[in-house]
Amino acid sequence: MTRFPLKTTVIAALMLGVAAPAVAQDICGGFGDSGQWIGGDEASSDITTADVYREQMALVLGGNEYVSLFTLSGPTDVRVEAAGRGSGDPIIDLLDSTGEIILSDDDSGGNAASRAETTLDAGTYCMSMRSYDGGPMTAFVRIGRQEHEPLTDGIDAGSSNDPSGSCESAVPYGALGSSVSASVDDTPFWSFELETQTPITITAENESADPVITLYGPGEIYIDENDDYDGLNSRLDLTDGLAAGTYCLAVTSLNDDSLPITVSINEYDAAEALRSLYARGEAAPPLDGSIPVTDLGVLTSRVRQDVQATEDVTWFSIGFEDAGLLVVEAIANGNSDPWLVVYDDLGRQVGLSDDYGDGLDSLVAARLQAGTYIIGVRQYQGGQGFIRLLAERYVRAQ
């Protein structure tokens, strides 16, 4: 899965002192060039030979990411973790040396913390951490071998959230293209068969349950897992296709094992997946009319637009004739919870915001060159809400 780069803002990085930033050298495909060595420097960040875990503390601001760098001098069983302070809810991605995502996690550490354990070959790796809601957050990140002391509690190994070795009890799912619904208490495992190599999409839906899905191949070989792809719902896109064989899908709940979770397994639809990215605001739509984008014209000073927002992003475009400062606000007046994103016309993210300041309103401010910019706004927690969108342009005093 290709990862879109986000600007990394590091406010604090502590590991018995201040961690040194990496010297730009295309680490993790460029994503790690502004990252921090988890051990303070590259030599101390070899987890294979480390006597104890390595840890940092970081503060990230709205929509940005903190990137920790580490190396392995040989094949190693590693654990990567992030735990937010207070109400912080971190999400982590583990990237290989090319920038491809190896795994992602949100809540497997328990109490909104993130945690993942895996075996990696020798090489350089990056662990990226961001805030689930895009707001500012202080968190601890820890990377170590699996025998090192963990940062998080993890999920109780004795609960139904531990799917290891239980695929033998899996219930047959049925034909691709259908949906099934059951609680984790009733059906924690589903099995399905593929007769030929097939790209597939798997979803698990019920935000009240907060589902997590883990896919195993023939012989219960781990393939991939997901939590919180769309809100608290989960989704896996296996775009390269799965070989013919029998597969096992483990479904767990981070909230309530008694609530029904709707599981759907379909052949992967590239067009539908792209529409889903646009609807969530994770990619900018094209300006060719295939996705509705309201043109607000050239922004000379100030424009206001009222939006009856839903959980899907509503898109607008504005023109900038000269360089200046763009300030965009999504104002709810206490009636909703807006989420805001701004892209340039090439699809590069300019800014993202949720819960600016002490309230639920959102704000993006960015210095821009002349061009066309795309603004997306949606209701963060689903449902509908009235949002007032305000865009203002400021120019440098002469």
Entry pTM: 0.53
Residue 219 — very low, low, confident or very high, per pLDDT cuts 50/70/90?
confident
Note the pLDDT of residue 159.
Answer: 39
> Which residues fall within 8 angstroms of residue 146, CB to CB, at 6 or more apart?
77, 78, 79, 117
Q: Tens digit of pLDDT for each residue in 344-353?
A: 999 999 999 9
Q: Tens digit of pLDDT for each residue in 327-344?
A: 999 998 777 889 999 999
Q: Which domains does the chain have, with CATH numbers?
A: 27-145 (2.60.120.380), 167-269 (2.60.120.380), 284-394 (2.60.120.1050)
Looking at every residue in the chain, the average pLDDT score rounds to 86
Which tokens go with 150?
Answer: 């963990």
Q: Tens digit of pLDDT for each residue in 144-196?
A: 999 999 999 876 433 334 444 478 889 999 889 999 999 999 999 999 999 99
Which tokens go with 299?
Answer: 């922004």
Residue 23 clears pLDDT 90, i.e. is over it: no
Read off the pLDDT of each residue in 206-218 and give the average, rounded to a whole number.
Answer: 91
Note the pLDDT of residue 3.
Answer: 39
Note the pLDDT of residue 155.
Answer: 60
Which tokens go with 268?
Answer: 């992967």
> Which residues fall within 8 angstroms of residue 374, CB to CB, at 6 or more apart?
284, 285, 287, 293, 315, 316, 317, 342, 343, 344, 345
- Please tell me which residue, 136 or 262, carries the higher pLDDT value: 262
Read off the pLDDT of each residue in 288-313 and give the average, rounded to a whole number.
Answer: 93
- Proportion of the chain above pLDDT 70, given as a percent: 90
| Structure-token match 């005093």, residue found | 397
Task: Please say whether the beta carbons of 340 and 390 come within 8 A.
Answer: no
Note the pLDDT of residue 21.
Answer: 54
Read off the pLDDT of each residue in 103-107 and give the average, rounded to a whole number.
Answer: 85
Read off the pLDDT of each residue in 199-206 and give the average, rounded to a whole number.
Answer: 95
Which residue stretches of the chain are H helix? 270-280
- CA 273/CA 271 separation, integer angstroms: 5
Q: Tens digit of pLDDT for each residue in 36-47?
A: 999 999 999 999
- Proportion of the chain above pLDDT 90, given as a percent: 59
Task: Please say whether the beta carbons of 386 and 330 come within 8 A.
Answer: no
Note the pLDDT of residue 22.
Answer: 52
- CA 177/CA 257 separation, integer angstroms: 25
Note the pLDDT of residue 160.
Answer: 39
Note the pLDDT of residue 2.
Answer: 35
Note the pLDDT of residue 5.
Answer: 38
Q: Tens digit of pLDDT for each residue in 132-145?
A: 877 788 899 999 99
CA 199, 168, 224: angle at the middle one, nearest 5? 35
Note the pLDDT of residue 397.
Answer: 77
Read off the pLDDT of each residue in 242-259 and give the average, rounded to a whole number.
Answer: 92
Per DSSP bridges, beta strands 245-253 and 90-95 are unpaired
Q: Any idea what DSSP says for residue 14?
A: B
Sign of the dihedral through C-alpha 271, 272, 277, 280: positive
Note the pLDDT of residue 7.
Answer: 34
Strands (E), 159-309: 171-172, 179-183, 189-194, 198-205, 211-217, 221-227, 234-242, 245-253, 260-267, 293-298, 302-309
Read off the pLDDT of each residue in 88-99 and give the average, rounded to a whole number.
Answer: 90
- Please tell me which residue, 215 or 86, carries the higher pLDDT value: 215
